[in-house]
A and B are shown apart, each in its own frame.
Chain A
Amino acid sequence: MSLLAFFEWLGNTQWSVDLHESQYAYPIIESVHVWTMAVFFGLAVMFDLRLLGWTFRNVPISQFNRRVLPWTIAAFVIMVITGTLLFFAIPLRSYQNIFFRMKMVLLVLAGLNVWFFHARVYPQVIGGPDSSMTKGARLAGALSLSLWIGVVFLGRMIAYNWFDCDRQPQPDVINFLTSCIPTAAEH
């Protein structure tokens, strides 16, 4: 079964239809997604600013890691749960949405950056003095900052249907990027 067929099937399940058509559940889930985004993004940016040395220079990075990261992770978990539900409510359309796809790519890159930071940069940083700064820390902070800003922008754009499959004609490159196969009549 192709992903396309799977998401088409998923979108036709009763649960997905109910969620999509619900008067309150969908907007509430979306609101929680946005509010936890603000908490996650805000605290992540504060961490990035520290890594870049733009502020909090006398707060050890390890302190940030111990005392602020748990909140950041909690918000991220809620965001993933609500985000999954939002996808589940409108699977096929999201799957073929160009902004959704770009957002997923940036999320993977942001995840790799988190791994890069915790596996490579952090062990070097914790041994140093309070104000310690390394090239790696700056790089991880700059990457994180740019990637998460990109994720927020793209996430907001998913709501818009400019490049959606059912809005033909679209340039070939768009239909390629959205795995869209327009019917001959639409072309």
Chain B
Amino acid sequence: MSLLPFFQWCYQTPIGGAIRDSTWLFPLIEAFHLVGLGLTVGAVLIVDLRLLGVGLSRQPVTQLSAATEPWMLGSLALMFVSGTALFLSEAIKCYYSFPFWVKMTTLLLALLFTFTVRRRLTRMSRASERSLLGRFTALTSLTLWFGVAWGGRWIGFS
């Protein structure tokens, strides 16, 4: 079954149409999306740099993870809302865009990884500190999020 009819339906939603008809809306929503991206990356990096042993080093991983989690969730929500709006306005273009599919795939993997493996690891007290598993988790997390950022930027070039 092709997903194209669904993407066409998305394209025809009133929200998508309103964004297409406006000069300012798309760039403005995009700017919010970018601020959300930066916030997410910051919150993820504080923990991943710690796991890699090259960031904050005196605080337990559990503590840093707890401190950054609300900001990560909040910024992910901001990105999800703004990203959905952007998507609705150009859903058909997205359907035919290779970077879009790369982004959606890596996003799914990144979210799955973040809320299963990485979350479990960062909640285990001490276990993740300076361990090979911790470094591997951080590298995987950063690689997946970079895939999302790569796809996101290149949707605009295609």
The secondary-structure label for the interface of chain B is: helix
Question: What CA separation (Å) do A159 and B153 show in the bound complex?
Answer: 14
Chain B interface residue count, Cβ-Cβ cutoff 8 angstroms: 35
Whether the pair A58, B30 counts as a contact (CB closer than 8 A) is: no
Q: Choose one: A40, A59, A153, A162; the contact of B56 (CB below 8 Å).
A: A59
Question: What CA separation (Å) do A166 and B24 show in the bound complex?
Answer: 19
Given contacts A41-B42, A43-B42, contact A64 B56 (CB under 8 A): yes
Whether the pair B34, A46 counts as a contact (CB closer than 8 A) is: no
Distance in angstroms from B111 CB to nearest chain A CB is 17
Which residues of chain B come closer than 8 Å to A117, judged between CB atoms? Answer: none
Whether the pair A55, B68 counts as a contact (CB closer than 8 A) is: yes
Question: What CA separation (Å) do A67 and B57 show in the bound complex?
Answer: 8
Q: How large is the interface on A (under 10, 10 to 19, 20 to 34, 35 or more residues)?
A: 20 to 34
Q: Which of B38, B64, B68, B150 has the most CB of A within 10 A?
A: B38
Whether the pair B27, A42 counts as a contact (CB closer than 8 A) is: no
Whether the pair A34, B68 counts as a contact (CB closer than 8 A) is: no
Whether the pair B59, A59 counts as a contact (CB closer than 8 A) is: yes
B39 within 8 A of A: yes
Which residues of chain B come closer than 8 Å to A68, judged between CB atoms? Answer: 46, 49, 55-56
Count contacts between A and B, CB distance < 8 Å: 95
A25 within 8 A of B: no
Which A residue sits closest to B44, measured CB to CB? A42
B154 within 8 A of A: yes
Whether the pair B39, A71 counts as a contact (CB closer than 8 A) is: no
A80 within 8 A of B: no
Question: What CA separation (Å) do A108 and B148 show in the bound complex?
Answer: 31
Distance in angstroms from A164 CB to nearest chain B CB is 13
Question: What CA separation (Å) do A19 and B90 show in the bound complex?
Answer: 29
Distance in angstroms from A146 CB to nearest chain B CB is 12
Question: What CA separation (Å) do A159 and B27 show in the bound complex?
Answer: 9
Given contacts A38-B41, A38-B149, A46-B43, contact A149 B35 (CB under 8 A): yes
Q: Choose one: A34, A45, A46, A153; the contact of B31 (CB below 8 Å).
A: A153
Q: Which residues of B contact A (CB under 8 A)?
A: 23, 27, 30-31, 34-35, 37-46, 49, 54-59, 63-64, 67-68, 70-71, 146, 149-150, 153-154, 157
Sample 30 A-B pairs with CB under 8 A, ordered by A number.
Answer: A27-B154, A27-B157, A30-B153, A31-B153, A34-B34, A35-B146, A35-B149, A35-B153, A38-B37, A38-B149, A39-B45, A40-B38, A41-B35, A41-B38, A41-B39, A43-B42, A46-B45, A46-B46, A55-B70, A58-B63, A63-B59, A64-B56, A67-B57, A68-B49, A68-B56, A71-B49, A71-B54, A71-B55, A156-B31, A157-B31
